[in-house]
Structure 1
Amino acid sequence: MTLSLLADKCKSMHQLKQIHAQMIVSSRIDDHFAASRLLSFCALSSSGYLPYAINLFNKIENPNQFMWNTLIRAQASNKNPDEAISLYVNMRRIGFAPSEHTFPFVLKACASLRSLNCCKQVHTHVLKSGLDLDLHVVNGLVRSYSVSSDLNNARRLFDRFTNKNLTIWTTMICGYAQNFFANEALLLFDQMISEGFEPNSVTLASVLSACAQSGCLELGEKVHVFIRTRGLEMGVILGTALVHMYAKSGAISRAKELFDSMPERNIASWNTMICGLASYGHAEEAFNLFRKLEKEQIAPNDITFVGVLSACRHAGLADDGREIFGSMKRLYGVEPKIEHYGCMVDLLGRSGEVKEAEELMKGMVWKPDEVMLGALLGACKSHGNTEVAERVVKQMIDLEPNNHGVYVVLSNLYAEAGRWEDFTRLRKVMKEGNLKKTPGWSLVDDVV
């Protein structure tokens, strides 16, 4: 018992290994209670080491349900949640029945994997186990279905469950908001209030996200008043949600005021403000805010770079854009994605560096999409570059064979350049192929 208590008080893996050695020497390791304390520290403690926990578990003869649940819980929160599913399958295979403590962790793994098929199979096991009325299990199912985009099943479970608490209301509202069903989220929030439930900061953050999606500034302002009158703490999550709501609704000055007053900010807060400023044409402010982030030594992520590169694009800051794009991997270890390349291609194209934009696009590991090609074609049109336009049009036709509008853009470029033979040839191709611009189609130069 003394060794077990010491295991609970461990501060490091070095200490735990010493206790583990003593348990082996004294033959206490075969005691399930003692082994479970070791396993719990290795698997769940911030000072633990999951591979050690797995090795320990594999050497325990006939691990009990607590041990299985402990390791499943740890794996569900790990970077490879599919390991939690495999562990659960192995547990069932040797005849261990899951409990109400098992399913929430298994369903957390399903949610992390966004696997609808996995969720449905676990749901079947829940029904067979007679745990379909357990609050924590049902909440796990609602969340797992929601993140797997099966809101019909999530809502069906939610409606059938009679003993609802604030947690399950919040899970369902959050599911709607995360899947961009803003109106449904707001209606459910109204229903929750009418049934006498007092929302917490997590609920309100989801409601504010729905307000941002629907552009419902008036309701968002009411939520803000509710937060103030209830004296709720303006933590990072709630503060960021408010900044996001105001920024998405176009109330940039309100968003900036709130952002500046936040006592604590994380990278999501900075991203929300930078992207909000960039989206509404406050490019210089967004760029300056990024520089401030760097000075405060906050590590930007891929979303930060999308925001600041968009700001550079709108402000025509080609040199700054090049410098920031180059620093992504070199200074911050952030691998550029297609969104970052898209911003740079558009930025360089707008700045007249059409060939440089094309070369950058060629260097990608991905094939350019129609948005990036459209931006480059728009740049070709603005700067009269028919050479690059010809190549871009070919790629766009390969992607969208029925997009005949690009032929119109190219023929107009030929006409503006006085290349009448090419103009006539292309018009003849269009006529013979019965190709004409689709009514209502237009090339958008300013791709967001």
Structure 2
Amino acid sequence: MRVNATNITVNTYMFRRPLIGNHRPPSSHSTIRPAHTQPHLSLLADKCSSMRQLLQIHAQMLVTATIHDNFAASRLLSFSALSPHGDLNYASKLLNSVQQPNMFMWNTLIRGLAISPNPHEAVFLYVNMRRIGVTPGKHTFPFVLKACSGLRSVELCKQVHSQVVKVGLDLDFHVVNNLIRGYSVSSGLVLARQVFDEMPDKNVNVWTTMVCGYAQNDRTVEALDLFNQMVAEGFEPNGPSLSSVLSACAQSGCLDMGEKIHRYIMEKGLGTEVILGTALVNMYAKNGALVMARTCFDNMPQKNIITWNVMISGLAVHGHAKEALDVFQVLEKYNVMPNDSTFVGVLSACCHAGMLDFGRKIFNSMRSVYGIEPKIQHYGCMVDLLGRGGMLSEAEELINRMPWKADLKILGALLSACGSYGNIEVAERAVKKMLVLEHDNHGVYVVLSNMYADAGRWDDVSRLREIMKDGSLKKTPGWSLVGDKDELN
């Protein structure tokens, strides 16, 4: 498939933003000073562990006029854009302060924005970069396409694809790989396959991405056929590529394909490596094949914390709470340090088993014993656990103590528990908070109305019905589809 670059261009009107600074395209006279001439401040920027430290180094660079050197500025930009302890807003200001940013700087900020919670900002930056005449390179498009993947926008992928063709990078392995991924996750599987077919020389990563695309879109037959074709043509999948395919099988519920991959791994003797073994455990656990998941888990000579978390969460999600907690206790005996994901699985298991006292103990130990600050997911599990145990006042108090505002999921768990235990007073407060977040949520009125009816408060029932009627609140009708799988495809 050749996208007509003259007819398809990035629609800049979709991303109307003020230009970032008064940048000019990089000049042929703009060079980066050799690394050995750079002041030590530039190297210190790579060793920062906080924005506070980076700000101190930035201040010193300003005082010594080092900041005018692109190498020095790029080190500051790299930390603030890509480090978990960085600040993307600060990174944007840094780029804005450079008169002639080099391509590395543009790519660094686009990359940081692409993996942020707001990937559309990466597209805004790319559009602004093109407006001032900067030509993207082969490292630019993979980051822009990653943003398109995050946005699940097939139209954006098409527009970026046209730019790829225009600059002659439509046969670059890394760019093509990201094009296939972008189309695949954006419901553009036909376009992804066209890009794949038009690549004359494919490497194992391109094959793997296309196989994953089929698996993630629940096209198991095509995924298996393509995997077989890849092997038949002499492309031997490596550990990372097989892990990617297994991850796709886990997400899409493709157990048949996952089992075939497992057989291939065993034939090649690849199953003892930690990442690949963890991917197998995850695939079986997500598909509900817990016996096989546990077998793979037990047969792994080495495990990392992700392996343990996958096993604990898999057991918890499928209702095997006791086994999940047993695995957690074994983890502690091995002196493996749990992380925040571990405790999400453990607390979920406690919810399934109704183990209120143990769950409360685990939650309190996160900060005091393990030095892990509970996140909103952990609070959500505890609210659910307390609600199931009838401790509604304690659950409400926990919500009020959270560092964040409660979301609909947490408040919904509290409201559901109120319905089970008939606590109208707490339910009314929960409903009030939920309506602030979603004012036309009909479900909260239905739950509260039923509670009023159970308590014989018919005046309140009538009042709520009038509110629903006046607000034109309508319940979205549910639907289901029953039929043979082959008939539905």
Please show how residues 275-424 of structure 1 align to structure 2 within 5 Å.
Answer: 275-330=313-368, 332=370, 334-364=372-402, 365-369=404-408, 371-396=409-434, 399=438, 400-403=440-443, 404-414=445-455, 420=456, 422=457, 424=458
**Larger % of helix: which?**
1
Tell me, yes or no, if the aligned pair for 2:208 and 2:245 is still in contact at 8 Å.
Answer: no
Letter paired with 1:226:
Y
Alpha-carbon spacing, 1:167–1:349, altered in 2? closer, same or farther (3 Å): same
SS at match of 1:265: coil
Tell me, yes or no, if the aligned pair for 2:212 and 2:223 is still in contact at 8 Å.
Answer: no
Alpha-carbon spacing, 1:139–1:239, altered in 2? closer, same or farther (3 Å): same
CA distance in 2, matches of 1:408, 1:94: 59
Please show how residues 53-202 of structure 1 align to structure 2 within 5 Å.
Answer: 57-58=70-71, 102-104=137-139, 106-108=141-143, 111=146, 114=150, 123-144=161-182, 153-175=191-213, 177=215, 180-183=216-219, 187-194=222-229, 196=232, 197-202=235-240
CA distance in 2, matches of 1:38, 1:110: 36
Alpha-carbon spacing, 1:350–1:397, altered in 2? closer, same or farther (3 Å): same
Alpha-carbon spacing, 1:38–1:48, altered in 2? closer, same or farther (3 Å): farther
Q: Does 1:254 align with 2:287?
A: no
Deviation at 1:226, TM superposition (A): 1.8
Alpha-carbon spacing, 1:222–1:406, altered in 2? closer, same or farther (3 Å): same
Letter paired with 2:250:
A
Letter paired with 2:357:
D
Tell me, yes or no, if the aligned pair for 1:341 and 1:361 is still in contact at 8 Å.
Answer: yes
CA deviation vs aligned residue, 1:317-349 (integer Å, no higher than 9, x gap)? 223322332344555554433322221111001
CA distance in 1, matches of 2:205, 2:125: 27
**Which has the higher Rg, Structure 1 or Structure 2?**
1
CA distance in 2, matches of 1:91, 1:391: 49
SS at match of 1:103: coil
Using CA pairs under 8 Å that are at least 6 residues apart, name the structure with larger relative contact order, 1 or 2.
2
CA distance in 2, matches of 1:230, 1:132: 34
Letter paired with 1:391:
R
The two structures have a TM-score, normalised by structure 1, of: 0.69
CA deviation vs aligned residue, 1:93-126 (integer Å, no higher than 9, x gap)? 998866xxx4136524652684669866754443
CA distance in 2, matches of 1:278, 1:408: 33
Deviation at 1:355, TM superposition (A): 0.7
The two structures have a TM-score, normalised by structure 2, of: 0.64
CA deviation vs aligned residue, 1:49-79 (integer Å, no higher than 9, x gap)? 899999864479xxxxxx9677778778779
Letter paired with 1:191:
L
Tell me, yes or no, if the aligned pair for 2:246 and 2:279 is still in contact at 8 Å.
Answer: yes
Query: Alignment RMSD, CA only?
Result: 4.6
The percent of aligned pairs where both chains have the same amino acid is: 47
Greater shift after overlay, 302-311 or 403-412? 403-412
- Structure 1 residue aligned with 2:34: 35
Deviation at 1:259, TM superposition (A): 0.9
Q: Which blocks of at least 5 consecutive residues in structure 2 are unaligned? A: 1-28, 49-53, 74-100, 479-489
CA distance in 2, matches of 1:286, 1:129: 53
Letter paired with 2:229:
S
Letter paired with 2:287:
S
SS at match of 1:182: coil
CA distance in 2, matches of 1:306, 1:150: 34
Deviation at 1:254, TM superposition (A): 2.0
Alpha-carbon spacing, 1:277–1:112, altered in 2? closer, same or farther (3 Å): same
Tell me, yes or no, if the aligned pair for 1:142 and 1:154 is still in contact at 8 Å.
Answer: yes
Alpha-carbon spacing, 1:94–1:71, altered in 2? closer, same or farther (3 Å): same
Tell me, yes or no, if the aligned pair for 1:247 and 1:273 is still in contact at 8 Å.
Answer: yes
Deviation at 1:33, TM superposition (A): 11
Deviation at 1:276, TM superposition (A): 0.6
CA distance in 2, matches of 1:80, 1:211: 25
Tell me, yes or no, if the aligned pair for 1:183 and 1:210 is still in contact at 8 Å.
Answer: no
- Structure 1 residue aligned with 2:302: 264
CA distance in 2, matches of 1:166, 1:278: 35
Tell me, yes or no, if the aligned pair for 1:43 and 1:74 is still in contact at 8 Å.
Answer: no
Tell me, yes or no, if the aligned pair for 1:110 and 1:144 is still in contact at 8 Å.
Answer: yes
SS at match of 1:372: helix
